[in-house]
A and B are shown apart, each in its own frame.
Chain A
């Protein structure tokens, strides 16, 4: 059964597409890497999946998943770390599904939060303000929140950017653990070696699908070259797009 189904979906901003005509599906329990150069539309695609961005065309269906069954890890640049909130309180927001607007955080929930913080190696950081954390520590905090969300579909936007190898190894182990539990994981990544070694399925994106399938077959120099040559035009006077069916079928 598919966890995510793309039907000729186009996502973008102000009529300008960032991802054209994507068709295909992510199987339930899959571990999928989304790769491509900067501006390829990786983050846009992930935002479309989690419902932050509405498609310009086509549709995205989440197979039987409620929007609250999705955990999304944004790029940390999207977070206002100057806001005076502690690590504990920030991670606790991952319990929103259980607490909503008014639900209290009882002893059991408190234990859960502390366990999530501990499992990303941040014991003792509970009262630290977000603004005092390093980039790697912040990334661990975001993973702790995803842990707490206990979601069936996990969407990670460049989760290993600008962090050291120890942190990367620890967090990658968590990702594989989620996969082992049967959760569906999609991650936008740049590290080709990591993708080759740890991700069974890959979508190569370059404002449109270049290739999608088993990583060993998809991660070829030819496909990467095609992705690198993608058109980055952003033209207000461009003609309206005629659906490129042949291209989407080939993908």
Chain B
């Protein structure tokens, strides 16, 4: 019974195995990016970027129909353009990055809508908006896995300057010029992972599998490495449980994954050992030192 409910769908159906592989790839790459987004107080930047890639994907859809490679390319181009332009303007003018990003993502959105309206096509963007991880074919899975691999490699390269820039940006600027490129590379990784996420979760929820696990991790550890590990595990568990929930109840897979992550987040807010509500209400006897 338990086997049938929790493991059976994956042994029986190939599409479920592909979906599980996809959420694990998304978790491995997206969750660490989410942790840095949160720690750099850029959580909503991820959301804005998700809007920024939508027009690119829509244009890709207009040009070639439901071709995920073209849609991915469109999303990447739009996302990169917005991320880099916003980053360059913020760094060269002193304008806050969120204000700069808001301008560019709105412009990107407006441009996308304009292009669509000029084309005069009534397109079905439900797939782009909400994704469908259960319909993922081998080629798409390979794209997701490739993007995740690139993310982890690039993150390894920029990890040190990214950490130092997050905690003490002035110091980094005195010892190295790596801060600017690292930040831009990080924004690029955000875009790659959003595009990755929209294959599975759609543009509206793509950022969820990045930010929610990061929020969960914040309630369980004060150590960065541990936070990243917890975030990856939380994302993978949410992905697995969400797929099972979706399979058993016919709830759409993307929202099911995010709802499971939300439940984990609520449990963490309540019972987390770093700042959880219960821990604050009942802290136990104070220590000697």
Please give the residue numbers on chain A whose beta carbons come within 8 Å of chain B beta carbons, in ascending order: 13-14, 47, 50-52, 67-68, 70, 72, 74, 78-81, 83-86, 90, 93, 96-97, 99-102, 129-131, 145, 149
A51 near B174 (CB under 8 angstroms)?
yes
Q: Are B174 and A72 in contact (CB under 8 A)?
A: yes
Say yes or no: B174 contacts A83, CB within 8 Å. no
Residues on B with beta carbons closer than 8 Å to the beta carbon of A96:
164, 175-176
Chain A residues in 8 Å Cβ range of B94: 13-14
Binds A, one of B98-106, B126-134, B165-173, B191-199: B165-173
The number of inter-chain residue pairs (CB within 8 angstroms) is 66
Alpha-carbon distance between A47 and B173 when the two chains are bound, in angstroms: 10
With most chain B CB atoms within 10 A of its CB, the pick from A13, A14, A101 is A101
Bound-state CA distance A189–B182 (Å) is: 34
In angstroms, Cα B7 to Cα A224, docked, is 78
Stretch at the interface among B13-21, B139-147, B220-228: B220-228
Specify the main secondary structure of chain A where it touches its partner.
Answer: mixed
Q: B157 on the interface (CB 8 Å rule)? A: yes
CA distance A149 to B173 in the complex (A): 14
Q: Are B167 and A101 in contact (CB under 8 A)?
A: no
Query: Within 8 Å CB of B166, what residues of A?
Result: 80, 83
A115–B227 Cα gap in the complex (Å)?
Answer: 28
For B, the interface residue count at a CB cutoff of 8 angstroms equals: 23
> Which residues from chain A contact B164 at a C-beta distance below 8 Å?
93, 96
**Interface membership of B161, Cβ < 8 A:** yes
Distance (whole angstroms) from the CB of B154 to the closest CB of chain A: 12
State in angstroms the CA–CA spacing of A214 and B124 once bound together. 77
- The CA-CA distance from A210 to B121 in the complex, in Å, is 70
CA of A72 to CA of B175, assembled, Å: 9
Residues of B within 8 A of A129 (CB): 222-223
- Indicate if the CB atoms of B175 and A97 lie closer than 8 Å: yes
Give 20 pairs: A residue, B residue, CB < 8 Å, sorted on A. Answer: A13-B94, A14-B94, A52-B170, A52-B174, A70-B174, A72-B170, A72-B174, A74-B168, A74-B171, A80-B168, A83-B163, A84-B39, A84-B221, A86-B223, A90-B168, A100-B176, A101-B160, A102-B157, A129-B223, A145-B171
Report the bound CA distance from A97 to B175 in whole Å. Answer: 7
B169 to chain A, nearest CB (A): 8
A84 touches B168 (CB 8 A): no
Q: Tell which of A50, A93, A131, A149 touches B168, judged by Cβ atoms closer than 8 Å.
A: A93
| Cα A129 to Cα B227 with chains together (Å) | 13
Chain B residues near A83 (CB-CB < 8 A) = 39, 163, 166-167, 224
Q: Which 3 A-B pairs have the closest CB atoms?
A: A83-B167, A72-B174, A96-B175
Q: A81–B160 Cα gap in the complex (Å)?
A: 17
Interface contact B163-A85, CB-CB below 8 Å:
yes
Tell me the smallest distance from the CB of A35 to a CB of chain B, in Å.
22
- Known A84-B227, A101-B157; contact A50-B222, beta-carbon cutoff 8 A: no
CB contacts under 8 Å to A, within B59-101, are 94
Asked if A78 contacts B168 (CB within 8 A), the reply is yes
Residues of A within 8 A of B39 (CB): 83-84
Q: Which residues of A contact B163 (CB under 8 A)?
A: 83, 85
Q: Given that A84-B224, A101-B157, A101-B160 are contacting pairs, would A50 and B174 also be in contact in the complex, using a CB cutoff of 8 Å?
A: yes
Output the least CB separation between B185 and chain A (Å). Answer: 12
Q: Is B266 positioned at the interface, with any CB of A under 8 Å from its CB?
A: no
- Shortest beta-carbon distance from B53 to chain A in Å: 28
**Shortest CB distance A117–B (Å):** 17
Once bound together, how far apart are the Cα atoms of A30 and B175, in whole Å?
A: 22
